[in-house]
Amino acid sequence: MNMLRIHTFPDSFLTQTAKAVENIDGKLQDIIDRMAQTMYAAPGVGLASIQVGVDKSILVYDIAPRDENRELHVLINPKIISSEGEVLSEDEGCLSVPDYRADVKRAESILMEGVDRDGNPLRFDAEGLLAIVLQHEIDHLNGTLFIDRISKLKRELYKKRIIKQLKRSDEQ
């Protein structure tokens, strides 16, 4: 099975909004399997379809510690129905924003809806790390990166650093 390429900032695909999945078929199952393989290899705790160049509303996640029993979760057409409280997601990172971490304000708890990979409806509460991961991945499905949620100054410093790196690699 081939892993998928993770798009990284400033790739414009990351700013797209994912389209709703209307048909859960073998092709979609293959994308989900490849997304899971890519997430685990990266390694990450979540991955949104937009990050791998798929404009369908899919996310995969697994917040289990790497050395314990892994349990892949799939959410298709996920939606945050409600949110409560505020928490600071300390040192948040992203596979699409390499070599950068920042503190991000997130909701403390959320109520989620979506369907699983078999089309079964899901509705559940999430808090703590799970709530943070789901908010982060749903942001991706809406064309938002976590750096869009930090101060403009910090965001601009990161953008300048990446643009410099890209220019250097183009010159070589």
116-170: per-residue pLDDT in tens? 999 999 999 999 999 999 999 999 999 999 999 999 999 999 999 998 888 887 8
Given this model, what pLDDT does residue 1 score? Answer: 62
- Write down the domain spans for the chain: 12-171
76-116: per-residue pLDDT in tens? 999 999 999 999 999 999 999 998 999 999 999 999 999 99
Catalytic, 137? Answer yes
pTM of the model: 0.94
Q: Which residues pair with 82 in a beta bridge?
A: 111
Q: Which of 68, 92, 113, 137 is catalytic?
A: 137
Half-sphere exposure of 77 (CA within 13 A, CB side): 16
Given this model, what pLDDT does residue 69 score? Answer: 81
Given this model, what pLDDT does residue 55 score? Answer: 96
- CATH classification (class only), 12-171: alpha beta
Given this model, what pLDDT does residue 168 score? Answer: 83
Q: Which of 20-34, 60-74, 98-112, 122-136 has the lowest mean pLDDT?
A: 60-74
Residue 60 CA to residue 102 CA, distance in Å, equals: 22
Rounded to the nearest 5°, which phi and psi values hold at 98?
-65, 150
Calculate the alpha carbon distances from 107 to 87, 101, 110, 130 in Å.
6, 18, 7, 11
Given this model, what pLDDT does residue 70 score? Answer: 86
